[in-house]
C-alpha cells in the first residue's frame, strides 16, 4: 500500500515538474520574442548635410531596417511614408547605419513641420521652450517613451542645509516633444517647459538625479503634493529626532578602563 502511494506521489511530482518546465520555457520565449517588427529608413553610408533625397538616392544610399514595433518612435520613416522625404534636404550629417527621422529634414514630416512648430503659442502669458534632457534605457522606460507622452518629473538630491538625501516633485504633466535615439537606444528627450523651468532642469540635470513618472495622456488630474520625501519618512523617524550622541573611544590601560 505504502509503495503504491509513493509511486502515485512520484508520478504527480513528475507531472508538476513537466508543467513548471513548460511554463518556464514559454515565459523565456515570450521575453525573447521582439513581437511585431516594422521596417524604417536608415543610411547605408555617411551622408553630408544638405544632401537632397531623390528616388535613385533612396535606392543607393539608404535601406530599410527592421526594428520591434514597440520601439518605433513617432518620427521614424517607415515604408508607407518614404515619398514624404523625396525632394527634401538633410539638415544634418548622417552616419552609416543611423536611422533617419523626419526631424532630419528641413521641412519636417509634412504635418508637424519643424520641432519648434510644436511649441504652444496660444497663451501669451506662457513662454514655453523646448529643452533636451539626457536619458538612458532605464529612464526612458526601455525606449518606449514617445513624442506626445506626458510625464511627472522627480528630482533626488542632497539637501543644501543638512546634506540629507531628499526627493521632491519638480514639475507634473510635462509634454514629451521628441525622443532622440542612437543605435536603437534612447539618448535624450525633448520636453516642453516654461523658460524658467527649462533653466532649472538644466541645473538639476547636473546636480540631482531625475526620475520620470509616465502618466496617461488623458489624465489631466492634478498630482497630489509630495512635499519633501526622505528616508526618515520611510523608516517612520520623527523629523525632530536627533541622531544618537557619539560615544568617545574607550581606552584600556593597565589598571582598568578609563
- Give residue-wise pLDDT tens across range 42-82: 999 998 888 888 989 988 999 998 877 655 555 678 888 88
Question: Which residue is it, cell 525622443?
Answer: 179
Confidence at residue 109, expressed as pLDDT on a 0 to 100 scale: 42
Confidence at residue 198, expressed as pLDDT on a 0 to 100 scale: 93
Say if residue 114's pLDDT is above 80.
no
Contacts of 177 (CB under 8 A, 6+ apart): 115, 118, 119, 130, 147, 190, 191, 192
Confidence at residue 151, expressed as pLDDT on a 0 to 100 scale: 92
Q: How far apart are the C-alpha atoms of 199 and 179, rounded to whole Å? A: 20
Contacts of 251 (CB under 8 A, 6+ apart): 257, 258
With beta carbons less than 8 A apart as the criterion, state whether 150 and 217 touch: yes
Domains observed in the chain: 37-104 (3.90.1210.10), 127-234 (no CATH)
With beta carbons less than 8 A apart as the criterion, state whether 37 and 68 touch: yes
Confidence at residue 170, expressed as pLDDT on a 0 to 100 scale: 92
Q: How far apart are the C-alpha atoms of 184 and 194, rounded to whole Å? A: 30
Q: How far apart are the C-alpha atoms of 88 and 35, rounded to whole Å? A: 33
Output phi, psi for 163, to 5 deg.
65, 15
Confidence at residue 255, expressed as pLDDT on a 0 to 100 scale: 53
Confidence at residue 27, expressed as pLDDT on a 0 to 100 scale: 55
Q: How far apart are the C-alpha atoms of 164 and 149, rounded to whole Å? A: 32
pLDDT band of 112, cuts 50, 70, 90: very low
Cell triple for 100: 533617419
Say if residue 124's pLDDT is above 80.
no
Global pTM?
0.51
Confidence at residue 203, expressed as pLDDT on a 0 to 100 scale: 93
Q: pLDDT, tens digit, for every residue of 146-170?
A: 877 889 999 999 988 888 899 999 9
The DSSP secondary-structure symbol of 101 reads B
Q: How far apart are the C-alpha atoms of 61 and 81, rounded to whole Å? A: 17
The DSSP secondary-structure symbol of 226 reads -
pLDDT band of 119, cuts 50, 70, 90: confident
Q: pLDDT, tens digit, for every residue of 218-242?
A: 777 877 878 888 877 777 766 655 5
39 or 1, higher pLDDT:
39
Amino acid at each position: 500500500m505504502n509503495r503504491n502511494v509513493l509511486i502515485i506521489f512520484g508520478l504527480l511530482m513528475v507531472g508538476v515538474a513537466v508543467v513548471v518546465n513548460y511554463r518556464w520555457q514559454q515565459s523565456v520565449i515570450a521575453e525573447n520574442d521582439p513581437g511585431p517588427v516594422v521596417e524604417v529608413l536608415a543610411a547605408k553610408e555617411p551622408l553630408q548635410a544638405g544632401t537632397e533625397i531623390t528616388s535613385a538616392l533612396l535606392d543607393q544610399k539608404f535601406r530599410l531596417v527592421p526594428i520591434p514595433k514597440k520601439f518605433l518612435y513617432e518620427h521614424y520613416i517607415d515604408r508607407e511614408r518614404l515619398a514624404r522625404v523625396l525632394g527634401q534636404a538633410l539638415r544634418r550629417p548622417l552616419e552609416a547605419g543611423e536611422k533617419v527621422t523626419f526631424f532630419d529634414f528641413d521641412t519636417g514630416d509634412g504635418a508637424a513641420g519643424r520641432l519648434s512648430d510644436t511649441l504652444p503659442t496660444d497663451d501669451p502669458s506662457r513662454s514655453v521652450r523646448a529643452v533636451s534632457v539626457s536619458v538612458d534605457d532605464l529612464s526612458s522606460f526601455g525606449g518606449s517613451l514617445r513624442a506626445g507622452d506626458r510625464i511627472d518629473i522627480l528630482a533626488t538630491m542632497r539637501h543644501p542645509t543638512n546634506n540629507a538625501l531628499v526627493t521632491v516633485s519638480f514639475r507634473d504633466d510635462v509634454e514629451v516633444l521628441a525622443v532622440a535615439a542612437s543605435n536603437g537606444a534612447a539618448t535624450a528627450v525633448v520636453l516642453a517647459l516654461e523658460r524658467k523651468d527649462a533653466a532649472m532642469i538644466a541645473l538639476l540635470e547636473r546636480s540631482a538625479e531625475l526620475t520620470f513618472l509616465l502618466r496617461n495622456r488623458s489624465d489631466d488630474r492634478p498630482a497630489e503634493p509630495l512635499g519633501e520625501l526622505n528616508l526618515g519618512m520611510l523608516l517612520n523617524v520623527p523629523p525632530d529626532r536627533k541622531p544618537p550622541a557619539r560615544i568617545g573611544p574607550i581606552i584600556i590601560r593597565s589598571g582598568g578602563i578609563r
